[in-house]
Structure 1
Amino acid sequence: MADSRVFAMVLAGGEGKRLAPLTADRAKPAVPFGGNYRLIDFSLSNLVNAGQLKIAVLTQYKSESLGRHIATTWRLSPLLGNYVTPVPAQMRRGPSWFAGSADAIYQNLNLIHDENPHYICVFGADHVFRMDPRQMLEQHIALGAGVTVAGIRVPLGEANQFGVIETDGESRTIGAFREKPKDPVGLSDSPGEVLASMGNYVFTADVLVDAVTRDAADPSSAHDIGGNIIPDLVARGQACVWDFVNSTVPGASERDLRYWRDVGTLDAYYDAHMDLISVDPSFNLYNSEWPILTWPEQLPPAKFVFEEDGRVGAAMNSMVCAGVVVSGGTVRRSILSPGVHVHSHALVEGCVVLHDTDVGRGATLRNTIVDKDVRIEPGARVGVDPETDKARFPVSPNGVVVIKKGTVVEA
């Protein structure tokens, strides 16, 4: 059942520079993940599963791929007034693009005025997680907060990577909100942890409108929700925190409930994929009670062919999507997206291979992220010789090779 009190805005304008070259032709929320999905599918699935069915996705950089995905995948029922719509930067408030996440909302206040909601969920578009926003909304209403910030517990030593939420003792009122502090204060019930912002918020509508309007008039502001809006509302005593440790989701295990990942670097992106193919993954894609939704391409089933001496089409400890053909090659600990073809005597090991890539006969791929439409020529070797790889491709700090979209890799 749709909740008519709530309007959702998903912030999908990030450039994703740390994920380059995967973001060379697409916005970060449009980056493929887990074989069939795009990163934005996780936030949208959580909102839609919770009955929040009026959603504006605010886009800006390289948004064509993202807009096409939303238009073809996220078609809710217009008969019931439900929608997910991409909203590109339109310069409604002057001759400038979005100057920050708060400015993105300010430039689209017309959307809020049109819907006239009581509450607004503002979610990020590029994290991998499963949560029920209704629980945060219920606490927000019960406490009469102006904004509620979703917080996840992280080790004290990682505080300098996040916006950190500090509370007054046992209270859920936020006493301070600090970006990447060097002197973090541990939680009263767990001194070795802090609450880090997950980038998801519930606002009372008039509080958000007032806050972004005041922020727009401040020339010294960076016009950022985490950097400007939340500290302002903290100072006004209007900000509360919702602790992700209290999250419950149908069908989710204890490990799954605590999972939230910012896959904003190549190594984080790669590691999150390797978790998916583990025997007992931290994040369960197979929870049908709270599904991660998308619209897979209309493709035939995956196919494995040849069973001869030294030539067996097989995939072990891997995820293989529709349209894949493993033709006498070997796939281990890898994720093959739709349309991938692995030819005879090829080896794909510890790899994330995106759509419509062709791995030629006798080729070897190890510890590599391969973007879409790549051709690996017969006999080519990637992830075998680190010095050769660095001369040809981007390589992450942890040694993961990345092959950009449309590349032809010669032997």
Structure 2
Amino acid sequence: MPSKTLTFVFAAERGTPRPLTEHRCKAAVPVAGKYRVIDFTLANCLHSGLRQVLILSQYKSHSLHKHLRNGWSLFNAELGEFITAVPPQMRYESGWYRNAIDALRQNCYLIERSQADTVLLLDGGLVYRMDYAELIRFHREQGGGLTCALRQAGVGTASGGIEVKLDEADRILGLSPRGEGDEPYASTMGVVLIDKALLLEQIERLAAVTEVEMESGVDLTTQFLTPFLEGRIDTPLQPSAYRFGGERGRVTPDRYWSDLGSTDAYFRANMDLLKAESPLDLYQADWNILTYQGQYPPARTVPGPSSGNEGIFVNSMLAAGTVIRGGGVSHSVLYPRVEVEDGAIVDEAILFEGVRVGANARVRRCICDKDVVIPPGARIGEDRRADAERFEVSDDGIVVIRKGRSL
């Protein structure tokens, strides 16, 4: 069944958190110590047997394209397999992709020439693990049409989410904004499966009634559901709901899902991975997350050249090429080629590739983008007022230092 499905991954918008998407699209933002956000969606495709994947890119896509080239050139073209980036081709007009539906309309020729009978639409800016093969099987059991995967939201969910109203047969009746609340409810998660014939039949009508720009933040599922539910499309179709995190499928049902929708959400998502029982299982042996890794030497700790103290790390993630020279790292996520010098303290921090922390510096509750240099003796994350004068500080007090900055 997956072999009869064409997959589109939407990776065109800038997205959030804004400080980290200044030089890259959201799908290319590093996450979890060694991955990019899009790796989770592509790994789901790989393990689900989906081998025809088109990635719709646009905003500052070079970093994404380079990552796809280096890390995901693994399918066999001779067998009709591919992972291909598709920036705007301007075949019908000179405009950019305005939204998800417009991006599909501009690439109708790719859908028409495909031998698939279903089209899977995925948001490439989310972090979760899911067996799409079970979604496809469920879609066929329900008789096809339009199926949307839904997750359970509720306690702790940020206000502004979308609540999906369902009937007893899990048919979707409507959508409504949802504030914070204590009761669980079904919400969208950026996964839509639609019959190819239905999509081609309705794509022009969908494009005509959908004028939402990408920057508005309207999610992929809502863009597709709203015209059908509001009767703006001339079809009796009633979309089906597939419940994410059930017992169907081969992936551990950890039920984790994050849209990394703010600096604080991004920080929490990375810190959650350091818990004794992480809500996102990165270690399921038959559901590994692929990515590109540079050929760097192993991470290591060494005594400080001045103090002679051993470098230490506690409950942290250390990627290849990282060296701790007499410094201390705790409850932090360090990407490749990070250097922590003698006497430096790093606590509850996320340090991207190539970050250097000078001797006796202290860095706490901070995100340092790629190639940031922290000078010896610097203090970051200890004085919010002083930090706000130099850097961006989130609502929860997380300091963000932008890419390549030397202090």
Shorter-chain TM-score above 0.5: yes
Residue number in structure 2 paired with 1:262: 259
Give the deviation of 1:93 after TM superposition. 2.3
Higher mean C-alpha displacement, 302-311 vs 338-347: 302-311
Residues of 1 paired with 2:251 and 2:9: CA distance? 25
Give the deviation of 1:158 after TM superposition. 4.3
Are the structure 2 counterparts of residues 293 and 406 from structure 1 closer, same or farther at C-alpha, using a change threshold of 3 Å? same
Residue 367 of structure 1 aligns to a residue whose secondary structure is strand
Higher mean C-alpha displacement, 231-240 vs 385-394: 231-240
* Alpha-carbon contact 1:346-1:364 (below 8 Å) kept: yes
Residue number in structure 2 paired with 1:208: 199
Identity %: 34
Are the structure 2 counterparts of residues 260 and 151 from structure 1 closer, same or farther at C-alpha, using a change threshold of 3 Å? same
Q: Indicate whether 1:119 and 2:118 are aligned.
A: yes
* Alpha-carbon contact 1:249-1:290 (below 8 Å) kept: no
Residue number in structure 2 paired with 1:295: 292
Q: Indicate whether 1:176 and 2:167 are aligned.
A: no
Residues of 2 paired with 1:251 and 1:139: CA distance? 16
Give the deviation of 1:264 after TM superposition. 1.9
Q: Indicate whether 1:229 and 2:224 are aligned.
A: yes
Residue number in structure 1 paired with 2:336: 338
Q: Indicate whether 1:350 and 2:348 are aligned.
A: yes
Residue number in structure 2 paired with 1:315: 313
* Alpha-carbon contact 2:29-2:36 (below 8 Å) kept: yes
What is the one-letter code of the residue matched to 1:140? H
* Alpha-carbon contact 1:211-1:229 (below 8 Å) kept: no
Q: Indicate whether 1:144 and 2:143 are aligned.
A: yes
Residues of 2 paired with 1:221 and 1:161: CA distance? 17
Residues of 1 paired with 2:351 and 2:156: CA distance? 33
* Alpha-carbon contact 2:99-2:212 (below 8 Å) kept: no
Residues of 2 paired with 1:333 and 1:123: CA distance? 32
Are the structure 2 counterparts of residues 248 and 369 from structure 1 closer, same or farther at C-alpha, using a change threshold of 3 Å? farther
Give the deviation of 1:309 after TM superposition. 6.5
After superposition, what is the alpha-carbon deviation per residue over 1:21-75, rounded to whole angstroms, capped at 9, x for unaligned?
1100000000000111000000010011110011000011111101111111111
What is the one-letter code of the residue matched to 1:391? E
Residue 291 of structure 1 aligns to a residue whose secondary structure is coil
Among 33, 36, 56, the alignment partner of 1:38 is 36
Are the structure 2 counterparts of residues 130 and 226 from structure 1 closer, same or farther at C-alpha, using a change threshold of 3 Å? closer
* Alpha-carbon contact 2:350-2:367 (below 8 Å) kept: yes
* Alpha-carbon contact 2:206-2:227 (below 8 Å) kept: no
After superposition, what is the alpha-carbon deviation per residue over 1:149-182, rounded to whole angstroms, capped at 9, x for unaligned?
11011117848522322112x212111133x246
Higher mean C-alpha displacement, 100-109 vs 211-220: 211-220
Residue 408 of structure 1 aligns to a residue whose secondary structure is coil
Residues of 1 paired with 2:201 and 2:325: CA distance? 60
Q: Indicate whether 1:165 and 2:160 are aligned.
A: no
Residues of 2 paired with 1:226 and 1:12: CA distance? 15
Residue number in structure 2 paired with 1:194: 185
* Alpha-carbon contact 2:154-2:183 (below 8 Å) kept: yes
Q: Indicate whether 1:246 and 2:246 are aligned.
A: yes
Residue 51 of structure 1 aligns to a residue whose secondary structure is coil
Q: How many residues align?
A: 396
Q: Which runs of 5+ in 2 are unaligned?
A: none
If the length of structure 2 is used for normalisation, what is the TM-score? 0.92
Among 300, 305, 328, the alignment partner of 2:302 is 305
Task: State the superposition RMSD in angstroms.
Answer: 2.2
Q: How does 1:29-108 map to 2 (within 5 A)?
A: 29-75=27-73, 76-108=75-107
* Alpha-carbon contact 2:2-2:136 (below 8 Å) kept: no
Residues of 2 paired with 1:209 and 1:40: CA distance? 26
Residues of 1 paired with 2:105 and 2:289: CA distance? 30
What is the one-letter code of the residue matched to 1:47? C
Higher mean C-alpha displacement, 150-159 vs 348-357: 150-159
Q: Indicate whether 1:281 and 2:278 are aligned.
A: yes
Q: Indicate whether 1:20 and 2:18 are aligned.
A: yes
Residues of 2 paired with 1:297 and 1:328: CA distance? 25
Residue number in structure 2 paired with 1:380: 378
* Alpha-carbon contact 1:71-1:85 (below 8 Å) kept: no
* Alpha-carbon contact 1:145-1:239 (below 8 Å) kept: no
Give the deviation of 1:262 after TM superposition. 1.1
If the length of structure 1 is used for normalisation, what is the TM-score? 0.91
Residues of 2 paired with 1:200 and 1:32: CA distance? 22
Give the deviation of 1:111 after TM superposition. 1.2
Residues of 1 paired with 2:358 and 2:352: CA distance? 15
Give the deviation of 1:117 after TM superposition. 1.0
Are the structure 2 counterparts of residues 311 and 125 from structure 1 closer, same or farther at C-alpha, using a change threshold of 3 Å? same
Residues of 2 paired with 1:41 and 1:222: CA distance? 25
* Alpha-carbon contact 2:8-2:122 (below 8 Å) kept: yes
* Alpha-carbon contact 1:156-1:192 (below 8 Å) kept: yes
Residue 192 of structure 1 aligns to a residue whose secondary structure is coil
Residues of 2 paired with 1:113 and 1:301: CA distance? 48
Are the structure 2 counterparts of residues 251 and 219 from structure 1 closer, same or farther at C-alpha, using a change threshold of 3 Å? closer
What is the one-letter code of the residue matched to 1:207? L
Residue 151 of structure 1 aligns to a residue whose secondary structure is strand
What is the one-letter code of the residue matched to 2:201? D
Give the deviation of 1:232 after TM superposition. 2.5
